[in-house]
Amino acid sequence: MSNRFFQKFYLRCGNCSAIQRSAQGYQPIANPILFKSDEHCRNYHDEQRRAAGYSGMVVTCRCHRCERVHSNWKVLDAQQFLDAKLRMTPEERAQRLWVSKS
């Protein structure tokens, strides 16, 4: 079960300072007849913490730049990401941000 509202986060790696995108969106309950209330409530509360900027949660994922799985991440909202991006030089942007596929 995912959040009913599409949300985009930006994660800054604590090891190499690279920034990557993270997103989640709506996914309906697979089979409402087999509804599991305990699992649904647990997921609902996890989603509330994610919506509040992952407060009280440890984010663990793979960094696309340093290729390490770790929990040393800083969650950035859209404004913090823009502020960080504008402070970077073009060389730093090419090094720390993801590669666009256009």
The annotation places the binding site for Zn(2+) at: 13, 16, 63, 66
Distances (CA, A) of 73 to 23, 81, 87, 90: 15, 14, 19, 23
DSSP the chain: ---SS-EEEEEEETTT--EEEEEE-----S-GGG--HHHHHHHHHHHHHHHTTSTT----EE-TTT--EES-EEEE-HHHHHHHHHHS-HHHHHHHSPPP--
Residues tagged in the binding site annotation: 13, 16, 63, 66
